[in-house]
Amino acid sequence: MNSDMLKKGYTRAPHRSLLKALGLSDSEMEKPFIGVINSFNEIVPGHIHLREIAECVKAGIRNAGGVPFEFPAIAVCDGLAMNHKGMKYSLVSRELIADSIEIMATAHPFDGLVFIPNCDKVVPGMLMAAARLNIPSVFVSGGPMLAGRINGCKAGLSNMFEAVGKYADGKLDDSGLREWEENTCPTCGSCSGMYTANTMNCLTEAMGMALPGNGTVPAVYSKRKILAKTAGETVMDLVQKGICAKDIMTRDAIRNALTVDMALGGSSNTMLHMVAVAKEAGVEISLREIDAISKATPQICKLSPAGEHYIEDLDADGGISRVMKELAKKNLLNMRLTAVEGCLEDRLKAVDESKRFGVVRDIETPYRPDGGIAVLFGNLAEEGAVVKQGAVAPAMMRHTGKARVFESEEAANEAILGRKIQPGDVVVIRYEGPKGGPGMREMLAPTSNIEGMGLGEQVALITDGRFSGATKGASIGHISPEAAEGGLIAYVEEGDEIAIDIPARSICLKVDDAILQKRKEKGARAPRQELTGYLKRYQKLVTSASKGAVLTD
């Protein structure tokens, strides 16, 4: 056992004495040591209940003859960090999470690990750590919150942000806005739509690193506690069989996850995270390869913000196993892969075909013939840009308009709320990329305000930053190279014509090359920043969004 480095032989008597200071008995010394990484904290609604989940995991480990040791991981709530300086620290937390887990699990050798994430950067950060450490590992998330209800209709956080735009446009009064505020997020858990956190938890399940139900069973259901206990028991089985993280996180498993992502119409942030996770697993995957997966995968789900269904509805309709069963009918997945509880193919046998609620469409009648996410290329994005095309109105799939240029999210948001953006415009927000931000902030506030003010089918927004999974509309992010790296987005000027053609996977600045050359010779004016601490170090080390915004080796 890996933990024998701590507890076997006469030279480890000092180590055993320290372990006995924890209250460990001699019989416990003979059992496998299992690390339980708990991202609980008291500020993130998706994590407030994770102490209870951790206790269930530890009960499962003890049930199966192991000794659990809990230790923490940080977690940022993107909703709370949105639209202010705090969002600069969201994406960057992913690397800190992976690094800190590597430190803890290497300094204190464990035989297996159970990861308890829930929200946006925690899931990919923990997946990166699992691949890096490569010991038996199981994931069990805290689960999604239930949808809110406004005037008898379901609602989620994306609708709440849109309500701000409606208020600014005079469509909601004070009491109406307060009603949204009090009813949108009714329980603990990751926000209720197919936003980034839930997308990543679903993909962890699709990859085989988590048990069926991990991505969809609501946080407040008793079934979530049972799932946590089973995860604790499952890691003990993996330890006995010697199945490690990278035995599961193979190229085919990662491609499976990306295929499910396209079928779900998941968050565009997965394009950052899955590239980063793949790199840690020793798998090279490019944006072009991901777009090829998208072109071959029908979108068979439309959940909030793209549709009216929520994660609780997907769970009731059979969850990710149902989605995978539909995709398998067209041989779009490799189901003969190892999952934490056995062969991935066995999950399909548990799907009850007699219970259908219409959330997951039949593969023969999809919402669209290709996937929910598209990668665009062109002179504005030579290395690629990403759009959640499954949440774009048909009228905006092709759009040409005049650039309205802003050097920050705040400046753009002020213009939107100030009614300075007109139908047909293309809002350009730059110097918000991994280096330029730094930290590649999400742009949920401006995109939601565009939607809330009734411009969602008339205005596009492009940025070298990124978008929340709750974003909908013609919102094109991850433009690479970013402005801070000399990308063409740095040289766009007010009134320039920008042509977007999502079906053709194209985004171009329609300015003569000679004019662009003169602009480049003159140079771009990047906003001045006084950086300190972690952001200063991060800016020096972070790579392009097209490479997953990972840090240089």
> Which residues sit opposite 429 in a β-bridge?
406, 463
Report residue 276 CA to chain centroid gap.
11
- The residue whose two tokens read 């190229």 is 251
Residue 116 CA neighbour count, 13 Å, CB half: 35
Residue 272 CA neighbour count, 13 Å, CB half: 37
- The residue whose two tokens read 């050359």 is 517
Beta strands in 168-289 (DSSP E): none
User: Closest Cα to residue 438, out of 545, 522, 360, 342?
Assistant: 545
User: What residues have CB less than 8 Å from 18, skipping those under 6 apart?
Assistant: none
- The residue whose two tokens read 């139900």 is 213
Peptide bond into 446 cis (omega under 30): no
Whether the CB-CB separation of 553 and 542 falls below 8 Å is answered with no
Which one of the listed residues 90, 294, 304, 468 is annotated catalytic? 468
Question: How long is the chain?
Answer: 553
* Residue 249 three-state SS: coil
Beta strands in 312-360 (DSSP E): 338-339, 342-343
Q: Helices 251-264 and 319-328 sit at what angle, rounded to 10 degrees?
A: 100
- Is residue 25 annotated as part of the catalytic site, yes or no? no
> Which residues sit opposite 345 in a β-bridge?
none
Q: Which residues are catalytic?
A: 468
